Every structure is written in structure tokens, then in C-alpha cells.
Amino acid sequence: MEATTNGILVKAQAVTKVYHTDEVATHALRGVSTEITAGEFLAVVGPSGSGKTTLLNLIGALDAVTEGRLEVMGKDVATMSKRQRADMRLHSLGFVFQAYNLFPVLTAQENVEFVLELQGISERRSERAREALDQLGLLEFADRRPTQMSGGQQQRVAVARAIASRPRLVLADEPSANLDGENARILLDMMHDLNVREGITFIFSTHDPRVIAYARRVITLVDGRIDTDVVKKQDTDVNKE
Ligand SMILES: Nc1ncnc2c1ncn2[C@@H]1O[C@H](COP(=O)(O)OP(=O)(O)OP(=O)(O)O)[C@@H](O)[C@H]1O
Ligand SMILES: [Mg+2]
């Protein structure tokens, strides 16, 4: 893995995002400044409409800032070419969305392999996919299609897919939104484990207080601004409850 200056993965300086729809301007982010360092396990929380998804989309180079400066892995996203942004999304980032986004006709194994294929990874593709599924406790479901799995299992496949190529940063937008408490706990345990053991940085948005408890740092957005940014003194050992 290439080193980034001071291990800073994300540097936002007075980032604003304005959406224009039907002559209405929505100020989704109103001057967000922060730094996110390699190894963090960070929750972005806040009321509906406060800008969580917008922030994750900007960091994921899926959308462009309106004003301000956003550097991801040492590069100013605004000055990257379309190709460079696509490369970064493919090779350095992992995405987990609320609605799983699995391919319905593919098995769990094939879903993971397909993304590795897109990433140009041909070597040991099948083993890598199996390893990722194994890390999410899903080996016995490798040959099942999404409709043959529970929501919790599907979301774990989505995480396996996001981490199979060992990205530096995984962005997860409300990963536990459709899960009951037990499945949310299993999912977060596994994400937390990947963070600790593999050093993968996670930024996830959530409304769920049980999920917030796993975070080592919590940024609260209110109306497009950072309201509070709290780093917990010690990593809460949520596994020992
Ligand atoms: N593509 C878009 N076009 C216009 N307005 C948008 C767009 N995406 C988001 N918004 C607006 O920007 C604001 C922030 O939206 P965002 O989706 O970031 O909030 P959120 O914190 O993720 O909310 P939730 O908790 O409901 O997911 C909202 O007022 C929303 O209506
Ligand atoms: Mg959202």
C-alpha cells in the first residue's frame, strides 16, 4: 500500500455542497472541515437531511464539491480526471450501501468475484473471494443467490465484496439500516474486526445508537455543519458485552 502524507486519508476544508433542482437550491453541506486518518472507525450521524450521504458521496468521488477543497488520499478530488476518480473508486475505496446492491442472478461467491474482475484482479480471484466471504462468516452461503439469504447475510456479502480487494477506505452509508439488532451487531462486529486486524479504515453513517457505540470517533452533522466531533478515549470493547 502506498503511503499518504501523515496517514491522512481525507482532508476537507470548508466543503460546501449545493444541489440545484427546479430552481430550488438545497445547501446540503455548509462548510465542513475535518481530517480523517488511516485506521479510523468513524461514524457520521445526524438527523435525516443533515448531509451524511452527501458527505460520503463526496469522499467517494461520486459527486463534486460546490466550494471548498476536498483531498482524498492526498489528491484534490476536483482536479482529478474522470478516469482517475474511477480508478480511485475501483482500487482504493470500498462501498457498502443501504440496499446491499448485490447482483440478484449471481451467487455470493460470484458477486465478490465479479467486483474483483472489474478491479482487474485475476490472480487467485476465487480464493480471494472465498477468503473475504470467510472473514464475514459466510462460507456456507457462498453458492447462494441474494434471494436465498437473509438481509443480514446479504449485507455481509456487500461488505465482503467491498473489502475483497483490500481497499484502504470503506464508505458505508447506513449499512445496518435494514437489519434487526442482532444482525446489526454481527455486521458491526465483523466490520470492527476488519478495522482492527486488517487496518481498513471505515467511515459509516447511521441513525442506530447500537451501531454508534462501535465507533471510535463520532461526527455529528446538523443542517450541513459539523455540530460535534467526538473521539472516544478508549476503544470500547463492544465484543465483551
Ligand atoms: N441529488 C440531490 N438533489 C437535490 N437535493 C438533494 C440531493 N441529494 C440530497 N439532497 C438534499 O440535500 C440534503 C442532505 O441530504 P443527504 O442525503 O445528504 O442527508 P442524510 O443526512 O443522508 O439524510 P438521511 O438520514 O435521510 O439519509 C437534504 O435536504 C436532501 O434533500
Ligand atoms: Mg442518507
Instruction: Divide the 241 residues of the chain into consecutive groups of 10 and give the mean pLDDT of each group.
Output: 70 97 94 97 96 96 96 96 92 85 93 91 92 94 95 92 92 89 89 93 93 95 97 63 41
Domain 1-79+169-178+197-236 has CATH 3.40.50.300: yes
Q: Name the pTM for this structure.
A: 0.91
Q: Is the CB of 19 under 6 A from ligand 1?
A: yes
The HSE-up count of residue 74 (CA atoms within 13 Å, CB side) is 9
Cell numbers found for residue 27: 445547501
For residue 58, how far is its CA from the centre of ligand 2 (angstroms)? Answer: 13
- End-to-end CA gap in the chain: 35
Query: Does the beta carbon of 48 sit less than 6 angstroms from any atom of ligand 1?
Result: yes
Would you kindly state where each structural domain of the chain is located, as residue ranges? 1-79+169-178+197-236
H or E, element range at 222: strand 217-222
Summarised one tens digit per residue, pLDDT across range 32-77 is: 999 999 999 999 999 999 999 999 999 999 999 999 999 999 999 9
105 CB-contact burial (10 Å; exposed 0-12 / middle 13-18 / buried 19+): exposed
pLDDT score recorded for residue 180: 86
Please tell me the predicted confidence (pLDDT) of residue 239.
47
CB atoms within 10 A of CB 106: 15
pLDDT tens digits along 80-96: 999 999 999 988 999 99
The pLDDT score that the predictor gives to residue 194 is 92
User: Is 43 within 8 Å of 204 (Cβ atoms)?
Assistant: yes
190 CA to middle of ligand 1, Å? Answer: 28
CB atoms within 10 A of CB 109: 21
Farthest CA pair distance, the chain: 52
Strands (E), 153-200: 169-173
- Give nearest CA residue, ligand 1 atom 25: 48
pLDDT for residue 179: 84
Indicate whether residue 53 lines ligand 1 (CB < 6 A).
yes
Closest ligand to 173 CA? 2
Residues with CB under 5 A from ligand 2 (ion): 52-53
Closest ligand 1 atom, residue 29 Cα: 14
